[in-house]
Amino acid sequence: MAGPMAVAANGASAQTYELIQAAKEEGKLNVIALPHDWCGYGDLIERFEKRYGIEVNETAPDASSAEQLDAIRASAEDAGPDAPDVVDIGLSFADVARDEDLLQPYKVGPWDTIPEAVKDPDGYWYGDYYGVIAFEINADKIEQPPEDWEDLLDDAYRGAVALAGDPRSSAQAALSVYAAGLATGGEPGAAAGEAGLAFFADLNAAGNFVPTAGNAATLTEGETPIVIRWDYAGLADRDTTEEPAITVVVPKNGVVARPFVQAISAHAPNPNAAKLWMEYLYSNEGQLGWLKGNCHPIRFDDLVAFDMISAEVAARLPPADAYANVVFPSLEDQAAANAVIAEQWEETVGAGVN
């Protein structure tokens, strides 16, 4: 665990006067794919503008990871005034972007507090926030919420448990099967996929599995009172749904995360503003901004260790210790498990997902 430097004022050990002045001279930061209602980005952007007097130019808020990289490719020959300075992309796109020379390296001040598993060693990309697979529960239908994967097999949850998609085509659903596999003894990789399939076969045989892709609508209507999905999606539903009451439970075992990553474009028209934006996001203030938006920041353990999370914010989230054993599967392990899940789901589990 990092020492006190990580919790200096605003956690901003590398927000030097020289960098701030250089960024102010550029006067602008171009961002892409940052909707204001996603992970607290609206508030983060507003605070950055006020703190540094730098205009944040927002484009294509709903762009996918692939579209963000396409925008960088398009700027290679002519990095116009709206070309993206920074991107926020899925982990699976990170090495592709680096290997294609779409990114430039930069290590933020609290670099050592970012887990090794979710950062490029040369600083071309680094994890920013993550979600974990959790149980979103219609509390009006489920009196006693499950606490762990094995609990889902109980008779109390007959006809109640759904995935958020078909694991043969949905990354979220496939990772849910993987998480169940880890929780029930499967080793990382293909073995976790096999163990996860065995778990869902038991869940289906017990009559507890609902072969419907669960979402906010099916949960609130009671069709799928328990949906296995990202914690931040469940928390967003809880915060925006008046009825029924919704609770979100992070299981005791098999706490599996998928991070997104930050990176600076190799063709950034405002490279100093881009670096300052990174310093702000990885400061304590920036990390807490993501947390307020229901996304766990990559420096979450650091914030907990130094008691940086207010009681008000903590009260809105699952207990901090629920994330103590979070697992970030490697892309190789996940790919191996996905292959097993895609090939054997129908034969082993015996239920499609519609």
Average pLDDT of the chain, as a whole number: 93
Q: Which domain holds residue 28?
A: 4-129+258-320
Q: Which helix (H) or strand (E) holds 29?
A: strand 28-32
Which pLDDT score is estimated for 6? 35
Residues 292 and 345 in one domain: no
Q: How far apart are CA 144 and CA 293, in angstroms?
A: 27
pLDDT for 45-78, tens place per residue?
999 999 999 999 999 999 999 999 999 999 998 8
Residue 12 has pLDDT above 50, yes or no: no
Residues 200 and 296 in one domain: no
Q: Report the SS3 class of residue 350.
A: coil
> Peptide bond preceding 271: is omega within 30 degrees of 0, i.e. cis?
no
Question: pLDDT category, 353, cuts 50, 70, 90?
Answer: confident
Residues 248 and 284 in one domain: no
Residue 252 phi/psi, 5-degree rounding, is -70, -30
Residues 123 and 136 in one domain: no
Q: Tell me, what CATH number does 78's domain have?
A: 3.40.190.10
Q: How far apart are CA 162 and CA 234, in angstroms?
A: 13
Tell me whether residue 54 is in a domain: yes
Total domains, the chain: 2
* Inter-residue contact 340 to 348 (CB < 8 Å): no
This prediction has a pTM of 0.88
Between β-strands 126-138 and 226-230, what pairing exists: parallel, antiparallel or unpaired?
antiparallel
Question: pLDDT category, 352, cuts 50, 70, 90?
Answer: confident
pLDDT for 119-174, tens place per residue?
999 999 999 999 999 999 999 999 999 999 999 999 999 999 999 999 999 999 99
Question: pLDDT category, 115, cuts 50, 70, 90?
Answer: very high
Residues 26 and 142 in one domain: no
Residues 227 and 287 in one domain: no
Which pLDDT score is estimated for 14? 61
Tell me whether residue 354 is in a domain: no
Q: For residue 86, give both structure tokens.
A: 């920074």
Q: How far apart are CA 180 and CA 149, in angstroms?
A: 6
Residues 207 and 284 in one domain: no
Residue 227 has pLDDT above 50, yes or no: yes
Residue 10 has pLDDT above 70, yes or no: no
Neighbours of 199 (CB within 10 A): 24
Residues 197 and 339 in one domain: yes
* Inter-residue contact 303 to 291 (CB < 8 Å): yes
Mean pLDDT of 254-281: 97
Residues 223 and 304 in one domain: no
Q: For residue 241, give both structure tokens.
A: 């749904």
* Inter-residue contact 226 to 162 (CB < 8 Å): yes
